[in-house]
Homo-oligomer: A and B are copies of this chain.
Amino acid sequence: MSTELPVLKAADFGSDQDVRWCPGCGDYSILAQMKKALAAQGFPREKIAFISGIGCSSRFPYYMSTYGMHSIHGRAPAFATGLKSARPDLQVWVITGDGDALSIGGNHLMHAIRRNVNLNIVLFNNRIYGLTKGQYSPTSEIGKITKSTPMGSVDNPLTPLSVAVGCGATFIARSIDTNVKHLADTLQKAAEHQGTSFIEVYQNCNIFNDGAWKYATDRATKQDNVLELEHGKPLIFGAESNKGIRLNGLNPEVVELGNGIAEDDLLFHDAKAPEPTMAYLLSRMQQPEFPEAIGIFRQIDAPVYDDQLNAQVEAAQQAASDAKLNDLFNSGNTWEVG
C-alpha cells in the first residue's frame, strides 16, 4: 500500500444522507462499528462496495461513503457474487436482515456460502420483519404473536449459524449490536478472512420486537447468558467465570467449575477444526438451556470461488496469450466463396 494514503477516520466512511432508522434502533450501533472497523483496516474507500437487499437493515449502504447497491429483497448475495467474480479487487460486503437473508433469500445465502465467495455477509437479526411493520420472521421463536400470527406462530425457527454450518461455511461468527468492541473486532476479522464470512449480529428492533435479545444485553444477565468464544480456550462463562461447557458424548452440558471439575475438563474451542461439527454443536447452544456463544465459531482456509474462477480465466489466457477472435471465427470447417 502506498505511503501517501491519507488515513481515513471512521467518520469518513459516513455518507451525506440522513440516517432514517427509528431512534434507538440497534442498526445505528452496527453502522458505527462498521465505520470504525473499516477505518481500522485502512482499505481505500473506493475499493469497497456494500450490497444489501430490502429491509430496515438494508438501507445501510446509503449511509456509507463507499460504493453501494440497495438491491431487491433477498438477492444481495447474488448481486455480490456477480460483482466480486467480475471484480476480485473490491472488498464486497453484504448487508441483510433475518427476513431478507433467511426467508426470501435463503437459497442465495446458502449458495454464496457453499461456493465460498469472498464476501463479508452481515445478517442483522432482530427476529422480526421491521420494514413491513412487524410480522414474524424465520428466526422468531415459536408461539410468537405478531400481526400475521395472532394465535402465535407455529413455524420452527431457523438458527442462522446452523444453516451456515450446514452449507459448509468457512467463517462463522456472532456478535451483538450493543457489544461495540466485540462487534467492531468481529467485523474486522471477517473482512480479513478469505472466502465467505458470515456474521450474525443480534440487533434490537425497539419498535416491533423490543427486548428480543434482552437476556444477552442486560447488564444483569448477559454474562450468564452469553459465552465469548476464544480459539484454543475452554468454554467458560458466567458473571464469576465459574461456569463452563463440557462434552458428554456428542452433547454439551453446563457445569460449574470447582468441586472436581477443572478447566481442562471443559470443551476447548477449536475454530480451525477441519470438520465443522464443533461449530455445529456451538450453534445449537441456545437459551434458556445454554449460554449463547458469540465470537468466531469457525475460521478455516479453503479455496475461494472468485479466486478459482479468475484463476481459470487467467490460466486459459496464459495458455493462449495471443488468442485472436479472427482465429475463433475461422476455426473448424470453412470454405471460400469466390
Contacts and interface: CB of A to CB of B under 8 A. Distances in A.
Interface of A: 103-107, 110-111, 114-116, 138, 142, 151, 154-159, 162-168, 247, 249-251, 273, 275-278, 280-281, 284, 302-303, 305, 308-309, 312, 315-316
Most chain B Cβ neighbours within 10 Å, of A116, A151, A278, A303: A151
A289 B186 CA distance: 34
Contacts of A142: 303
Contacts of A276: 284
A106 to B, nearest CB: 4
A102 to B, nearest CB: 9
Contact of A162 (B155, B168, B303): B168
A111 B106 contact: yes
Given A247-B250, A251-B275, A116 B168 contact: no
Given A114-B156, A163-B166, A278 B250 contact: yes
Contact of A280 (B106, B158, B164, B277): B277
A165 B249 CA distance: 18
Contacts of A251: 273, 275, 277
Given A111-B138, A168-B156, A316 B278 contact: no
Contacts of A163: 110, 166-167
12 contacts: A105-B107, A106-B110, A106-B111, A115-B156, A154-B308, A162-B166, A166-B166, A251-B273, A275-B281, A277-B277, A277-B280, A277-B281
Contacts of A106: 106-107, 110-111
Contacts of A316: 151
A262 to B, nearest CB: 18
A279 B136 CA distance: 29
B154 A158 contact: no
Given A106-B110, A154-B308, A154-B312, 17 more contacts: A103-B111, A104-B107, A106-B106, A106-B107, A110-B163, A154-B303, A155-B305, A156-B302, A158-B167, A166-B167, A247-B250, A250-B277, A250-B278, A251-B273, A277-B280, A277-B281, A277-B284
A136 to B, nearest CB: 12
